[in-house]
Structure 1
Amino acid sequence: MTSSSTPTVTKSPPALIPPAGPTPRGTLALSSIDKTVAGSGFVCLIQVFSPPSPSAARRDLGAAAAVAAMREGFARALVPYYPVAGRVAPSGLAVDCTGEGIWFVEAAASCALADVDGLECCPLPIPQKLLLPRPPPGEKLDGLIFMVQATRFTCGGFAVGIIFRHAVFDGQGAAQFLTAAGELARGLKAPSVAPVWDRDAIPDPPGPLPGQVTEFRLVTQVADISAESIARVKDEFKQASAASAGEVCSTFDAVTAIVFKCRTLALASALPDDDAEVRVAFAVSTRRLLRGVLPIPTVEGYYGNCVFLACVARAGKAVREAALAEVVGAVREAKEAVPARFAGWMRGVEQYDVPPLDYSTVTLSDWTRLGLDEVDYGFGVPGYVSPLNDHDNFIVQLHYVRPPAPRRGGVRVVLRCVEEPHAAALAVELAKFA
């Protein structure tokens, strides 16, 4: 679109969606794992839904009905997920089950999704604050757990902006709640997965040591790692580990090795010397490791944080000069150490180590298998899901998401992991794997 036709978004006043029926009251403690990520605050994301095929008149009618059904789906989901309708206690260590509900915003964009490249480009043609919900003036953000905004485009497509409190959900847990809302919006009588709180079943071992937090001026970038590049790295690892039968390089391993090496190359001028350490930290799901802590039937429905941080730390020169197969091996080694480290942490004999949150550490999250791109509120599954985190300058981070439909097969990386002086060099390195 030209600058003279910059798209606008008109928002309705935020409205509370309370649970559709009676819910329990009281206070529920967060788990020790929840508390370790509480400092991360809110997670912001967008789900983009392509327009339906019917005529414009039917499309308008269908959009109104779809939003009404979506609101009803959330209201019904808040009955079994009643803590989400509450507020985080002032202590930050518990949820007060007040039954107040979640804030919901309806909005309308002045353009079609095609006019803004399907919201798949970087930077976004529409400021992210226009696509994300906000509570009414005077409502404190501190206690809120979940907010939704449904923005309708002139083509009939939708963008659903989500903000959720990380202390209450991890990504998989948030996807579970959204899936339940979608199922109920489509008329199911109950969610396919029954939610489980049970945070008090998790032991309370030592938490992470607080680290110094620095504010950066991070640049948002997007890079697509092709399926061919991923296959090539997997093959290089297979060749290098031929003597080690059973060694398998996953897509996650390959992409993590690529982005870690590319970022280290881009940062060469920023490191004080060749021995300066660089790190990549990533969250590993530990749901399967809770099977000795929670009853097996309830593990599937647990929607609290179930992650443990793995970290690869190497000298910058070593990463720059290493073959990608070597970097893959380091990633796999960190991943494979998690079960024993997690078990030790649960017994209280190992500290939950958080690497320094400085410019030498990049933290990544893999969203490709969380289920966020399988949520159906009644107008199909999203064609694209992405974090909206341009506001976060305290954690050097990147996310793996599924590329938009035409480029399916590889992995899209949404990056906020370098400042301006290193952005061009990073883009050049990543382009070699496009």
Structure 2
Amino acid sequence: MSVSVNKLAPELVAAAEPTPSGHLPLSCMDRTAVVRILVDLMLVFKQGVQPAKAFRAALSRALVSYYPVAGRIVEPIPGEPEVACTGDGVWFVDASVDCSLKDVNNLERPLLLPKKELIPFAPPDVNEEDLIFMMQVTEFTCGGFAVGIRFSHTVFDGLGAAQFLQAVAEIARGHARLVVDPVWCRDAIPSPPKLSRGHAPSLASFRFETSVFDVSSDHISAVKNQFWRETGQKCSTFDVVTAMIWQSRTRAIGLDPHADVHLGFAANTRHLLRQVLPQEGFYGNCVYPMGIQTTAGTIAGSSPVEVIELIRDAKERMSAKFLDWMMGDAEDDPYKVPLEYGTLVVSDWSRVGFSEVNYGWGEPIHVAPLNDDSNFIASCIYLQPSMPKQGVRLLTRCVQKEHLPAFTEETMKFVHN
């Protein structure tokens, strides 16, 4: 079927009241080059009543408290970005489609509408790298709608972006004040004496294929029980799913057994900075990149329990490694991840808060990252599956076409075992 998307011209939405001006510093975690990207995200809702109108008004009011988001990222000193509180506002796009969500399979993968029709873009003369947040609301004939978000990872981490979306949702639902007041305080986070600026991803090195797998909660529980029987210890859903995807991918890509393979994941460090950060409200980057290095033969030939133990050991070392890094005593730069085919980076979005955003018409039927053009490193994102399923959805971009059949076969052994 032929579908027509009508996107109106982007408009700036400014704060509903006057807000402070000036410049705000970013933390050492915000300033690393590896987070200088726009994250593209889509939330799909089953129903709503004039959502674009409601969102525009709620966004304007939320920007009073979150006034830095209406500003721009500037870099007066190379390598030292900060936020200029200009009050310019955020770009907002109102769009509509002449079909129902059912007609496009609720925007499940593979997408039946082009990504460019579902996310906002600023006018051509605007440098999008300076922007902090953009929103598009696309309404369907069935009354459902999709919210396309683009946020700067320099200003938000996943928890922070979800916090801002929750704030907009609270206002849309009629709350007189925010449940959690936002806090900036980026300068409260100490800068390590030997701070790396990281490395910005360069030209795409690989051509990764996108795949989606849903792992049932029953199967995850079965592996947890197996781990308990063999070790007498508990493990998490993250441990189980990460071990499965790392092992499946390693077996599928067929590296030499002695070749190095790397696993990377971001660990939340808010609990380690309680003395300098408030208990709630902080929405900047507050994660530390953890890594595990071993050989392809070790991962491919181990039992699931043995791979889980590797992951748990790394997580247990995180606090000490983070504190060493903050003191300048780290042996290796945690932000220098090998950009090789043997590297896999996983991100757990299932508990960040995007799936709980409710603008007054219920939670999203599903949430989908849309950064499918990132080809510099193999990745897997953990999401909540579409309602009413229970478990974890894996959005993978971690193998090239020639390894996709083997990867699918290995992964399905776990999913349907």
TM range (shorter): over 0.9
Q: Which of 263, 281, 305 lines up with 1:301 in the alignment? A: 281
**2:3 counterpart of 1:13:** no
CA gap of 1:8–1:430, structure 2 versus 1, over 3 A, is farther
Q: Which residue of 1 aligns with 2:402?
A: 421
Q: Which residue of 2 aligns with 1:56?
A: none
Deviation (angstroms), 1:307: 0.5
Q: Which of 204, 218, 225 lines up with 1:228 in the alignment? A: 218
Cα separation, 2, equivalents of 1:38 and 1:23: 30
Q: Which residue of 1 aligns with 2:351?
A: 369
Q: Which residue of 1 aligns with 2:166?
A: 179
Within a 5 Å distance, the mapping from 1:12-411 to structure 2 comes to 12-36=8-32, 38-51=34-47, 62-63=49-50, 66-90=51-75, 91=78, 93-120=81-108, 122-205=109-192, 206-208=194-196, 210=198, 213=202, 215=204, 216-242=206-232, 247-268=233-254, 271=255, 273-294=256-277, 298-350=278-330, 351-353=332-334, 354-407=336-389, 409-411=390-392
Deviation (angstroms), 1:201: 0.7
Cα separation, 2, equivalents of 1:40 and 1:319: 32
SS at match of 1:224: strand
SS at match of 2:148: strand
TM-score by length of 2: 0.94
Give the aligned length: 407
Q: Which structure 1 segments of 5+ residues have no match?
A: 53-61
Which piece of structure 1 moves more, 80-89 or 200-209? 200-209
Deviation (angstroms), 1:327: 0.4
Say if 2:34 and 2:198, in contact at 8 Å, map to a contact too: no
Cα separation, 1, equivalents of 2:196 and 2:302: 31
Say if 1:172 and 1:370, in contact at 8 Å, map to a contact too: yes
Deviation (angstroms), 1:39: 4.2
SS at match of 1:405: coil
Deviation (angstroms), 1:299: 3.1
Q: Which structure 2 segments of 5+ residues have no match?
A: none
Runs of 4+ that moved beyond 6 A: none
SS at match of 2:65: coil
Say if 1:213 and 1:357, in contact at 8 Å, map to a contact too: no
Q: Which digits, 9 at most, give the CA deviation of each residue in 1:112-161, with x for residues without a partner? A: 111111112x2211111110100112111120110000000110001101
Deviation (angstroms), 1:7: 2.2
SS at match of 1:89: strand
Say if 2:118 and 2:136, in contact at 8 Å, map to a contact too: yes
Say if 2:37 and 2:129, in contact at 8 Å, map to a contact too: no
Q: Which residue of 2 aligns with 1:55?
A: none
Deviation (angstroms), 1:378: 2.6
Say if 2:38 and 2:129, in contact at 8 Å, map to a contact too: no
Q: Which digits, 9 at most, give the CA deviation of each residue in 1:284-329, with x for residues without a partner? A: 11111110222xxx23100000111111221001111100000000
Say if 2:357 and 2:364, in contact at 8 Å, map to a contact too: yes
Deviation (angstroms), 1:36: 2.1
User: In percent, how many aligned pairs have the same letter?
Assistant: 46
Deviation (angstroms), 1:213: 4.5
Say if 1:70 and 1:378, in contact at 8 Å, map to a contact too: no
Deviation (angstroms), 1:40: 4.3
Deviation (angstroms), 1:18: 0.3
Deviation (angstroms), 1:108: 0.5
Say what the alpha-carbon RMSD is for the aligned residues: 1.5
Which piece of structure 1 moves more, 84-93 or 137-146? 84-93
SS at match of 1:430: helix
SS at match of 2:149: strand
User: Letter of the aligned partner of 1:159 in structure 2?
Assistant: A
Deviation (angstroms), 1:389: 1.2
Q: Which residue of 2 aligns with 1:57?
A: none
